[in-house]
């Protein structure tokens, strides 16, 4: 197997990171489905695009597609453990944008719409990025 494939798909992590990856993936897939499809009380693509424009992320439709698509599809990738590192990289970038464009000026705590939750999710995505998908993953099975 090539070194690049082994680097992307290989994992040093055990079952604990598998659990973290699945739970973080569920949260992202749900948030992405809100943005893209309006599921779970979300605004859908049109509502998300309008909101993105209102906070200065333009063009709104493109930003809604990029953020919603990354959250939904990378969330699914984390759940099943396929291409977990690239998925975690995309999600980490999305979280940094969210933290610095929406939450940072509100302080840490969620009660004030702060960056607490996004920071916790960022910790999860960075852990997957560094350690890989964990023992129970498609990545791990391919890399063997």
Statement: residue 142 has pLDDT above 90: no
At residue 10 the predicted structure's pLDDT band, cuts being 50, 70 and 90, is confident
pLDDT of residue 11: 79
Question: Max alpha carbon distance in the chain (Å)?
Answer: 49
Can you give the pTM of this predicted structure? 0.92
Mean pLDDT within 15-30: 96
pLDDT of residue 141: 86
pLDDT of residue 39: 97
For residue 84, how far is the Cα from the chain centroid?
Answer: 10
pLDDT of residue 1: 58
Q: What is the pLDDT of residues 88-100, one digit of tens each?
A: 999 999 999 999 9
Per residue in 51-79, is it b (16+ CB within 10 Å) or e — as a string? bbeeeebeebeebbbbbbbbbbbbbbbbb
Statement: residue 66 has pLDDT above 70: yes
Statement: residue 133 has pLDDT above 80: yes
| Among candidate residues 38, 45, 74, the one with its CA nearest the CA of residue 59 | 45
């Amino acid at each position: 197997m090539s070194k690049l494939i082994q680097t992307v798909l290989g994992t040093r992590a055990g079952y604990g990171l598998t659990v973290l990856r699945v739970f973080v993936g569920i949260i992202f897939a749900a948030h992405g489905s809100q943005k893209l499809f309006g599921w779970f009380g979300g605004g859908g693509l049109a509502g998300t695009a309008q909101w993105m424009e209102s906070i200065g992320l333009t063009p709104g439709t493109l930003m809604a597609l990029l953020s919603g698509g990354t959250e939904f599809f990378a969330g699914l990738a984390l759940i099943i453990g396929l291409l977990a590192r690239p998925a975690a990289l995309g999600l980490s970038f999305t979280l940094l944008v969210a933290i610095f464009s929406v939450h940072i000026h509100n302080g840490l705590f969620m009660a004030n719409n702060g960056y607490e939750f996004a920071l916790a999710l960022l910790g999860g995505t960075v852990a997957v990025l560094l350690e890989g998908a964990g023992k129970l993953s498609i990545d791990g099975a391919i890399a063997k």
